[in-house]
Amino acid sequence: MRDGYRRGVACAVLAAAFYALNSPLSKLLLGDVAPTMMAAFLYLGAGLGMAALQWLRGRSGRTGREQPLTRTELPFTIGMVALDIAAPIALMVGLSRTTAANASLLNNFEIVATSLIALICFGEAISRKLWVGIGLVTLSTALLSAQEADSFSFSSGSVWVLAACVCWGVENNCTRRLSSKDPVEIVVIKGVFSGLGSLLIALCLDEPLPAWLPAMWALGLGFVAYGLSIALYIYAQRELGAAKTSAYYAVAPFIGVALSLAIFREIPSTGFIAALLVMIAGTWCVTRAEGAA
């Protein structure tokens, strides 16, 4: 395995570990912050935090090593920002209606969305083993979304989380077109403009501004779970491509599940355990398929 591939895998896994903090800690903060306002502060934390890092990097004279965005990338940049407004709002609404552990595991549906869009729109190859993994992940999300084992009705919270995954799947492929550019600049643009867009929507919905302490926690969580995570994800995409990066990033939901069960002392149901086992099998197929690439 070449050095660049190893660096890509390391960046993807570290990005996953940072993002895994999102669902359980956001669930805690949603008691004090409205869903759309929460999405706004998460992305503003990412944008402002990475802007501070960019300033420090400029002071050290290292900005010249990265290529800035140009007008050529403008369509993908606009698409990235629009989808990053929609996705976190959908996730926060979903989190307010389902458990943090359930939402964490459902986040793996992003693999399916990212891989299929990479195939259909951009011609990235998908191996037979990856197709099997995608099928198992999809089956697991169906099990997690069902309100009852003997019912065909679906949890509204799960549907919102899946909608967020689809948005992020499209956004991952937009970001892939930008991955040769400066990752810090990309995250600053994503964070500031997506955060301001979400803030405007929250104010239009008459959601109240949070108290200063929950607001600071939300900004800090956004910096780590979105800002640092996204930057590392972009570095990984340079080496691995959108589908492969998404595959290694799949460890995030399992870390999120463990944190959620520990924080909220949730007792998993039989259906959740069954879905977890299917998800583990699907993720194993995905990572094995991509690791052999």
pLDDT of residue 143: 76
Residue 148: the pLDDT is 46
270 within domain boundaries: yes
Asked if the structure places residue 110 within a domain, the reply is yes
Q: Residue 21 has what DSSP assignment?
A: T
In a domain, 80, yes or no: yes
Predicted confidence at residue 105, as pLDDT, reads 83
Would you list the DSSP string of 51-95?
A: HHHHHHHHHHT-GGGSPPP-GGGHHHHHHHHHHHHHHHHHHHHHH
Q: Cα(72)–Cα(136) distance, rounded to whole angstroms?
A: 38
Which residue is associated with the tokens 């002071």? 59
Whose tokens are 């959601």? That residue is 207
* Those residues with Cβ within 8 angstroms of residue 239's Cβ, 6 or more apart along the chain or in another chain: 4, 5, 7, 8, 11
Could you tell me if residue 277 is inside a domain? yes
User: Which DSSP symbol is given to 208?
Assistant: P
Q: What is the pLDDT of residue 29?
A: 94
So what's the pLDDT on residue 65?
Answer: 67
Structure tokens at 166: 């689809």
Q: Which residues span the domain enclosing 275?
A: 3-59+69-291
Measured distance CA(187)–CA(189) in Å, rounded: 5
For 84, residues 6+ apart whose C-beta sits below 8 A from its C-beta are 43, 171, 190, 194
Residue 64 in any domain: the answer is no
At 210 the pLDDT is: 94
Question: Is residue 44 domain-resident?
Answer: yes
pLDDT in tens, the chain (293 residues): 577 788 888 898 899 899 899 989 999 999 999 999 999 999 999 999 999 988 887 776 665 567 778 888 888 899 999 999 999 999 999 998 888 888 888 887 887 888 788 777 767 777 777 788 888 888 887 777 765 444 444 678 888 999 999 998 888 888 777 877 888 888 899 899 999 999 999 999 999 999 999 999 999 999 999 999 988 988 888 888 766 776 777 778 788 888 888 888 877 778 788 888 888 888 778 666 655 55
What pLDDT does residue 64 have?
58
Q: Is residue 32 part of a domain?
A: yes
Domain count along the chain: 1
Alpha-carbon gap, residue 261 to 274, rounded angstroms:
16
